[in-house]
Amino acid sequence: MHSCKKIPVELGVRRYPVYVGENIFSLLPGFMRTSRTSNQVAIISVPPVSSLYLEKVKKVLDHSWQVHHLDIPDGESSKSVSVLNKIYTWLIHHRLERNCTILPLGGGVVGDVAGFAAATYMRGVNLIHLPTSLLAQVDSSVGGKVGINHRSGKNLIGAFYQPQAVLTDITVLKSLPGEEFICGLGEVIKYAILNKKLFSYLEKNLSLLLKRDRVTLMNTVKKCIEIKSKIVSADEQEQGVRAILNLGHTFGHALEKFYGYKYLKHGQAILLGLRCALHASQITGQLKPILHKRIIRILDQIPVSLPASGNEFDSLKLSRLLRTDKKVRQGKINLILIQEIGKIIRQPVMDRDLIIQSLEILRKLI
């Protein structure tokens, strides 16, 4: 096993580690034995991931473990009541008890829906994330947000439920399809905008990151997790500073819904949402032109565009969808805007024209 870094998420008695390294799935049985979990293990994955890594995980869990495996459909449509109920039925059928451990093996969707199942089955069972996408590794597997979508909006049903641990193995990113790797870069850029050190590093090393250079990838993933860990530790349930992690997401979630969660992946939507947030920051006078150019220079190196299929782009309809976001308060949309690298503000907005102007910047990407 190669060396790994242990990053703590400081939540008092619910403190847990995020391990980051290469070939670190072998840490799993040892950690579970010290965590007083039972020998019942439920691995929840999707076919593209389980075909690659299920046997690898099973191999480290020897015959002393009762391992059960369920594949759910790949894609955002799995974040639904029907798939959640399928997981509950499967857990009950296999008589998984309250001290079992659920292992989501996959990207953000698997982590969200399997994590919500862990939070609610038997009023809460053990959860250890095994994220296999760049997006899940740098963002969604850390911080305890789990949930499913509703036809009225994204992530409207969910909970804060922290795992016992997260095992982040960057070697799995070598097999990640190119489009999925690009999807994770939206979250990476978000964290870079929140942190001067990471932003400078990304400006110098983005070309290496795009090539999945091992050292650059390790440094980037670790730094993103460190940034998120610090924010989550300070504000677990998004009552204050954690709101800055929604940078690009208010616009991004509306775009996902507009395209029916079908033609635009979450990571692509966040990349587009960052452009909208960037433009909103500029036209409200928050962001200086020189910094706007530096951020755009990074975004322009990431290939993403509006879908050729699905609804025809309509900024007015999109502006209406923003009002269904769960962060709307008293009719005002809480936009996360950029003042400087490392200085992000939350600004309640009712100005429809501002929202439409911010969305219109995407027309050049059609």
Same domain, residue pair 145 and 219 = no
Do 112 and 129 sit in the same domain of this protein? yes
The residue to which tokens 């670790």 are assigned: 222
Alpha carbon of 342 to those of 190, 196, 211, 274, 345: distances in Å?
10, 6, 26, 15, 10
Picking from 146, 175, 204, the residue at the C-terminal end of a domain is 175
Measured at the CA of 324, the angle between CA 231 and CA 159, to 5 degrees, comes to: 45
Where does the pLDDT of residue 326 fall: very low under 50, low under 70, confident under 90, or very high at 90 and above? low
Residues 195 and 128 in one domain: no
Sort strands 165-169 and 16-21 into parallel, antiparallel or unpaired: parallel
* Domain co-membership, 273 together with 324: yes
- Model-level pTM? 0.94
List the domain range (segments joined by +) for residue 263: 178-365
* pLDDT tens-digit readout, 71-110: 999 989 999 999 999 999 999 999 999 999 999 999 999 9
Short-list 79, 80, 121, 116, CA closest to 99 = 121
Mean local confidence (pLDDT), 46-65:
94
Q: Return the closest-CA partner of residue 152 out of 348, 325, 345, 11.
A: 325
- Same-domain pairing of 252 and 187: yes
Of residues 25 and 330, more confidently modeled: 25
pLDDT of residue 1: 46
CA distance 110 to 289: 39
Q: How confident is the model at residue 155 (pLDDT cuts 50, 70, 90)?
A: confident
Mean pLDDT for 19-38 is 90
pLDDT at 348 over 90: no
Average confidence (pLDDT) over 198-223: 97
141 and 116 share a domain?
Answer: yes
Q: From CA 364, how far away is CA 154, in angstroms rounded?
A: 26
Share the mean pLDDT of the chain.
93
Q: Are residues 75 and 155 in the same domain?
A: yes
The SS3 of residue 179 is helix
Confidence of residue 2 (pLDDT cuts 50, 70, 90): low
Residues 160 and 213 both lie in one domain = no
Pick from 113, 147, 175: which residue ends a domain? Answer: 175
Residues 350 and 263 placed together within one structural domain of the fold: yes
CATH number at residue 358: 1.20.1090.10
The enclosing domain of 33 has a CATH number of 3.40.50.1970
pLDDT at 366 over 80: no
Tell me whether strands 101-106 and 126-131 are parallel, antiparallel or unpaired: parallel
- SS (HEC) of 117-178: HHHHHHHCCEEEEEECCHHHHHHHCCCCEEEEEECCEEEEEEEECCCCEEEEEHHHHHHCCH
**Average pLDDT for 193-222:** 97
Which of 144, 175, 206 corresponds to the end of one domain? 175
Residues 319 and 342 in one domain: yes
Say how many domains are in the chain. 2
**CA 52 → CA 42, 47, 57, 62, 265, distances in Å?**
17, 9, 10, 19, 22
* Amino acid code (one letter) for 184: G
Reading the block at residue 62, the tokens are 């020897």
Least confident of 13-17, 186-190, 267-271: 13-17
Residues 283 and 211 in one domain: yes
CA separation for the pair 311, 7 (Å, rounded):
42
- Whether 155 and 190 map to the same domain: the answer is no
